[in-house]
Amino acid sequence: MLGKLSWSAIPFDQPIPLIAGAVVVLLMLGALALVLAKGWMPYLWKEWITSVDHKRLGIMYVLLGLLMLLRGFIDAIMMRAQQAVAYHAQGYLPPEHYNQVFSAHGTIMVLFAAMPLVIGLMNFVVPLQLGVRDVAFPTLNSVSFWLTATGALLVNISLVVGEFARTGWLPYPPLSELRYSPGVGVDYYLWAVQISGIGTLLTGINFVTTILKIRAPGMTYMRMPMFSWTALASCLLILAAFPVLTATLAMLTLDRYLGFHFFTNEAGGNAMMFMNLIWAWGHPEVYILVLPAFGIYSEVISTFSGKPLFGYRSMVAATLFICVVSFMTWLHHFFTMGAGGDVNAAFGISTSIIAVGTGVKIYNWLFTMYGGRIRFTTPMLWSMGFLTTFITGGLTGVLLAVPPADFILHNSMFLVAHFHHVIVAGVVFALLAGIEFWWPKAFGYRLHEGWGKATFWFSIVGFYVTFMPMYVVGILGMTRRLQHYDVAEWHWWLQISSVGVLILIVAAGCQVAQLLVSYIRREELKDITGDPWNGRTLEWVTTSPPPVYNFAVLPQVIDTEYYWELKQRAFEQARLSEEPKYEAIEMPRNSPTGFVCAFFATIIGFALIWHIWWLMIVGLIGAYATFVVFAWRDVPEYMIPADEVAQQDRARRAARQHILNTGEVAWQ
């Protein structure tokens, strides 16, 4: 009846996951009780859960990403604590639990923290930057989000019911095959990643269509803001890379469920095929994360230097260069496979070449700052911290790109230090800068600068103290993922590393404090104008937060940095442009399709993990019924009358006119 599921799946004998799980369940039940008691449910259902508004979905993505970032960070704290004490000892985490922790940490950080944060910012910003009312397929967008949430939910369920994979963030066979991993851990991984991966794939389709087909009139390619360009490149990579992930995980799933022989040791299976396939996705995935991050830095550096982005065209070219070349470097993840000197040399060279595109970008950012009037706001600090940190991180990558060096450093702590160096400085700093930068647009008030700066300084110091020692122990011969060790030279370095984590905990505390303090003091931090940073792109033309339709009339773009030009002209002429003629606006209606889809996806995933076949069939029928109900609806849109649009836009224009009249500008 319940397949493999029984009471023994609950880890009553292991206090750590049990307590952690109980706390999470209690928090969730508490939140639900609060929502029900306060009568917030109808509001949440109408305005958020069934919303197809790209801004709302973006905010929900970011919320999901931040929660999972916290979860992944807790895993990291556990690992650092374990390695700090597990010298000539077993530490406090038994091996099977430690293995789950590092597997969950990698999976969560890349797929359920970084990805939702990146996609969330793309969701929120790209339509605003391109002068669009919503994405090409709004309901599909909601389906994407809820499928991602399903994946995150399954990973968290594995904390309490059963176990998570012990195979690392990429489940290499033959270890991940049924013979060596008979438990449900790998199955949790497979279905969680598969379901959220499909959500990501749909996001890719949605955003490529949006960016290529429904930009505002006059928004030619060479007028698109840099973040939108990088979002396009990232989504093209999603389109090309995520199907590979889907296929690869499906193959491993077939091996495990139906006794196929793709990657097994027996009957002619080929485990190395898995490494090739998974990294044909995995390497572009790195750039799916980091290209939008580069876009965020471009916007932030240009805005706070008060200058147009230096070398815009070379930036576009470098972005697309990276987009293409990122598919030609995957083999550097396993130089030690034994592909031979020629193949390794080719991939070593392509790996070094991809650094050229990034180098172009670094110079562009530096020259954007050169001669500018730089404002040292929190987003700008993150960007400058990124510039200095990322260059050295990239250099260690160039070291690893040399195959002979890689033979020594492969899978050592040096590698762990390298990829955290580039991902934390490249992606995490960008995401925090981006959240800080676009927060006022989303919520109508700025975040508190003091707490933001504290977060930055604790983060960057904590980062160096945590990860630099890893380079050293890597060169001293320490391999990654060690549960305990007996080498005296490593011990001190690993203890320094755990001190770094303590500093990062303070940073995380400052970040949470910043959000709380800013919310409490939201009145004094209020953004009245809709343009709190003296911005240059179209998202700053509308109010903060923007109305559901984003723009009262679609902008007619006639220039690069069109909004900046409009603003300068308004200041010169001391008046706004003529009031436009308002028309009724057609907007997509909200739909529970995404949420219901995800509900059935969760059921299907859970049923497949535990081999509860009848439940899987119920889920499939439910999913099909959801599609049919969605396909059957007659009125997919509603109209916002012209009067309402006019009224709201006149209020916006009045706020702008006030700035012009008083000459009082809130821009520091």
Partner 1 sequence: MSTADSTITIADPFRLGHRGPNLARGHGGGGPATKRVVVGYGFWLFLLTDIIIFACLFASYAVLAQATAGGPTAKQIFDTDRVAWETACLLASSFCCGLATIAVAKRDQFLTQLALLATGLTGLAFILLESSEFAALNAQGYGPSRSAFLTGFFTLVGCHGVHVTAGLLWLGTMMAQFYAKGFRPDIGRRFLCFSMFWHFLDVVWVAIFSLVYLVGTRL
Q: What's the 3-state SS for 434-468?
A: HHHHHHHHHHCECCCHHHHHHHHHHHHHHHHHHHH
Closest Cα to residue 591, out of 204, 198, 206, 140?
140
Binding residue for partner 1, selected from 312, 335, 443, 471, defined by CB under 8 A: 312
Considering the complex, what minimum distance in angstroms separates the CB of residue 533 from partner 1? 16
Which of these ranges, 108-116, 341-349, 434-442, 550-558, lies near partner 1 under the rule CB under 8 A?
A: 550-558
Residues 355-394 binding partner 1 (CB under 8 A) are none
Q: 157 CB contacts (<8 Å, ≥6 apart)?
A: 188, 606
Spatial contact of 518 and 447, defined as CB atoms under 8 Å apart: yes
C-beta closer to partner 1: residue 229 or 335: 229
CA 365 from centre of chain: 22
* Type of residue found at 68: M
Binding residue for partner 1, selected from 212, 395, 584, 654, defined by CB under 8 A: 212
Q: List 586's β-bridge partners, or say none.
A: 639
Considering the complex, what minimum distance in angstroms separates the CB of residue 574 from partner 1? 13
Active site residue 543: no
Residue 568: how many other CB atoms lie within 10 Å: 11
Considering the complex, what minimum distance in angstroms separates the CB of residue 275 from partner 1? 12
- Radius of gyration for the chain, computed over Cα atoms and rounded to the nearest angstrom: 25
Binding residue for partner 1, selected from 1, 37, 258, 488, defined by CB under 8 A: 258
Binding residue for partner 1, selected from 22, 27, 558, 665, defined by CB under 8 A: 558
Active site residue 448: no
Considering the complex, what minimum distance in angstroms separates the CB of residue 630 from partner 1? 11
Residue 631 found at the interface with partner 1 (CB under 8 A)? yes
Binding residue for partner 1, selected from 51, 206, 298, 377, defined by CB under 8 A: 206
Active site residue 347: no
Binding residue for partner 1, selected from 494, 541, 612, 615, defined by CB under 8 A: 541
Active site residue 418: yes
C-beta closer to partner 1: residue 240 or 290: 240
C-beta closer to partner 1: residue 13 or 572: 572
Angle among Cα 6, 7, 11 to the nearest 5 degrees reads 120
Active site residue 200: yes
Considering the complex, what minimum distance in angstroms separates the CB of residue 471 from partner 1? 36
Binding residue for partner 1, selected from 257, 519, 624, 667, defined by CB under 8 A: 624
Q: How would you class 254 by CB atoms within 10 Å of its CB: exposed for 0-12, middle for 13-18, buried for 19 or more?
A: middle
Considering the complex, what minimum distance in angstroms separates the CB of residue 565 from partner 1? 6
Q: 14 CB contacts (<8 Å, ≥6 apart)?
A: 97
Spatial contact of 339 and 331, defined as CB atoms under 8 Å apart: yes
Active site residue 489: no
Active site residue 148: yes
| Site map 568..587 versus partner 1, x via CB under 8 A | -xx-----xxx-x-------
Considering the complex, what minimum distance in angstroms separates the CB of residue 390 from partner 1? 27
| Site map 233..252 versus partner 1, x via CB under 8 A | ------xx-xxx-xxx--x-
C-beta closer to partner 1: residue 521 or 575: 575
Task: Write down the catalytic residue from 50, 51, 103, 148.
Answer: 148
**Sign of the Cα pseudo-torsion (456, 457, 459, 463, in order):** positive
Task: Write down the catalytic residue from 156, 228, 264, 298.
Answer: 298
Size of the site for partner 1 (CB under 8 A): 78
Residue 186 found at the interface with partner 1 (CB under 8 A)? no
Residue 636 found at the interface with partner 1 (CB under 8 A)? yes
Residue 254 found at the interface with partner 1 (CB under 8 A)? yes
Binding residue for partner 1, selected from 122, 132, 232, 422, defined by CB under 8 A: 132
Q: What is the Cα–Cα distance from 69 to 63, expressed in whole angstroms?
A: 10
Active site residue 141: yes
Q: What is the Cα–Cα distance from 549 to 99, expressed in whole angstroms?
A: 48
Helical ranges in 545-592 per DSSP H: 562-573
* Type of residue found at 82: Q
Which of these ranges, 153-161, 218-226, 382-390, 432-440, lies near partner 1 under the rule CB under 8 A?
A: 218-226
Q: 85 CB contacts (<8 Å, ≥6 apart)?
A: 91, 92
- Three-state secondary-structure class, residue 87: strand
Distances 624 to 18, 589, 620 between C-alpha atoms, Å: 36, 21, 6
Question: Phi then psi for 310, rounded to 5 degrees?
Answer: -70, 135
Spatial contact of 335 and 407, defined as CB atoms under 8 Å apart: yes
Which of these ranges, 93-101, 269-277, 459-467, 504-512, lies near partner 1 under the rule CB under 8 A?
A: 269-277
Q: What is the Cα–Cα distance from 375 to 353, expressed in whole angstroms?
A: 34
Residue 275 found at the interface with partner 1 (CB under 8 A)? no
Which of these ranges, 12-20, 48-56, 254-262, 317-325, lies near partner 1 under the rule CB under 8 A?
A: 254-262
Active site residue 419: yes
Active site residue 123: yes
Binding residue for partner 1, selected from 66, 170, 219, 423, defined by CB under 8 A: 219
Residue 260 found at the interface with partner 1 (CB under 8 A)? yes
Which of these ranges, 7-15, 206-214, 338-346, 358-366, lies near partner 1 under the rule CB under 8 A?
A: 206-214
Catalogue the long-range contacts made by 74-80 (C-beta closer than 8 Å, 24 or more residues apart). 74/20, 75/101, 75/102, 75/104, 75/105, 75/108, 76/105, 76/501, 77/501, 77/505, 79/105, 80/466, 80/494, 80/497, 80/498, 80/500, 80/501
Catalytic residue numbers, as ranges? 61, 71, 75, 79, 102, 123, 134, 141, 144, 148, 200, 203, 210, 283, 285, 287, 298, 314, 358, 361, 418-420
